[in-house]
Amino acid sequence: MRSFFKTKTAIALALSVAAGTATAEDVEVLHWWTSGGEAAALNVLKQDLEGQGIGWTDMPVAGGGGEQAMTVLRARVTAGNAPTAVQGLGFDIIDWADQGSLANLNDVAAAEGWDDVVPAALQQFAKVNGEWVSAPVNVHSTNWVWANKAVLDANGIAMPETWDDFVAAMDTLSAAGITPIAHGGQAWQEATVFDSVVMSVLGPDGYKAAFIDLDADVLGSDGMKEAFDRMSVIRANVDDNFSGRDWNLATAMVINGDAGFQMMGDWAKGEFINAGKVPGEDFLCFRFPGTSEQVTFNADQFMMFDQGGAVSAEQAALATAILSPSFQSAFNVVKGSVPARTDVSNEAFDACGKKGMADLAAAASSGNLFGSMAHGHANPASVKNAIYDVVTAHFNGEYDSETAVQELVDAVDIAK
């Protein structure tokens, strides 16, 4: 990756704007935060910048996993018209940095002390060849289950702790005429569920071997077949109209009592909060059965695209605003995620937020924090997409579990 050099004047201007002492222009931000809860969270950042006199040009691209946004971004960059900042995940950030497309944020990071407060697991994707190229917004964990408390209470269902408990709960809801699992039939959503299922079956060592190390023996193991078998059970408990449904519409099914559970990352909590629901009273949040000590994560970050020279004053201001402790608290309280820096108080967070922060700290300390395969933090996009294809084909009945295992081995081998 090429190096970037700034004059002292440019550095001073960038940092003065970050402190709100200079006039700045608009920032154009490409992102895929288009649901109600996400939009409410993003508004926190917009208001922060407006307070510094920086306008916001919004470029939303709908699509919960960000694939459509990346397609739009590639077209913009090819045309020589990159946005100021772009929401990015995991290996996508590394890929853009390796292409020399991203601005160097080292001076902002040094002035703000990012190295001391951003966890190493996040720095793995925010820094490339020692250069900060993106500003982490949050940490999402993906192995959550969300439940409508009233529906569970009415049917005598306790929070399931094991896979057998979960199967029994699904059977009870099905017998009562309630859709057990709210799900949207999109490849990234099925992969999100698969993440949790594989962790529950193979455990942390097996998950790492399969999705990070890409060990063919583990990918082709009996345990992986069991994971696909469990996906078949989940598929049997999804309503008939799931195909193509956006994730937030599946969340709404749980909010409205039309379904009992949803397996989704903690961005789903933002939908509950936006609907005025209270954790512990209206809805429950818990780790997918069998993964109570593990956390699979992704982290939204904003990549700062090279605008033809040194990092701009507006980019410096945006990056500084994103990683300020006050913003990290205010944004993540609304978004459902947890802060991307370790020194933010949990005081403003609700019960699910406090649990998320505690789980993340414990998993990081015990070595049980793993990048999510489904969300681009375990392997490059080529491998992730190959896994997507197999998982969604199996979920839609194209493969039985035994065939899916072999297809998975072959697809990963070709994609590596």
Which pLDDT score is estimated for 21?
31
pLDDT over 90 at 131, yes or no: yes
**What is the tens place of the pLDDT at every residue in 68-119?**
999 999 999 999 999 999 999 999 999 999 999 999 999 999 999 999 999 8
The answer to whether 48 and 327 are in contact (CB under 8 A) is yes
In angstroms, the Cα distances linking 170 to 144, 193, 257, 353, 412 are 16, 15, 14, 26, 32
> pTM for this one?
0.86
- Residue in the block written with tokens 């070595």: 367
Those residues whose C-beta lies under 8 Å from the C-beta of residue 141, and which sit 6 or more positions away, are 265, 266, 295, 296, 297, 338, 356, 359, 360
Instruction: Quote the CA–CA distance of 280 and 301 in Å, as a whole number.
Output: 30
Which pLDDT score is estimated for 324?
94
**What is the tens place of the pLDDT at every residue in 393-410?**
999 999 999 999 999 999
Q: What is the mean pLDDT of the chain?
A: 91
Going by pLDDT thresholds of 50, 70 and 90, the confidence category of residue 2 is: very low
Which pLDDT score is estimated for 282?
98
Identify the structural domains of the chain with CATH numbers, from first to last. 8-140+299-354 (3.40.190.10), 141-296+368-415 (3.40.190.10)
The secondary structure of residue 312, as a DSSP letter, is P
Which pLDDT score is estimated for 369?
93
**What is the tens place of the pLDDT at every residue in 378-391?**
999 999 999 999 99
Higher pLDDT, 23 or 290: 290
DSSP 205-226: HHHIIIIIS--HHHHTSHHHHH
- Residue 9 phi, psi (nearest 5): -65, -45
Instruction: Quote the CA–CA distance of 337 and 316 in Å, as a whole number.
Output: 23
For residue 198, which amino acid is it?
A: V
Q: Is 49 left (phi over 0), alpha (psi -120 to 50) or beta?
A: alpha
Which pLDDT score is estimated for 7?
29
Which pLDDT score is estimated for 67?
85
pLDDT over 80 at 20, yes or no: no
**What is the tens place of the pLDDT at every residue in 278-337?**
999 999 999 999 999 999 999 999 999 998 777 999 999 999 999 999 999 999 998 889
Which pLDDT score is estimated for 64?
72
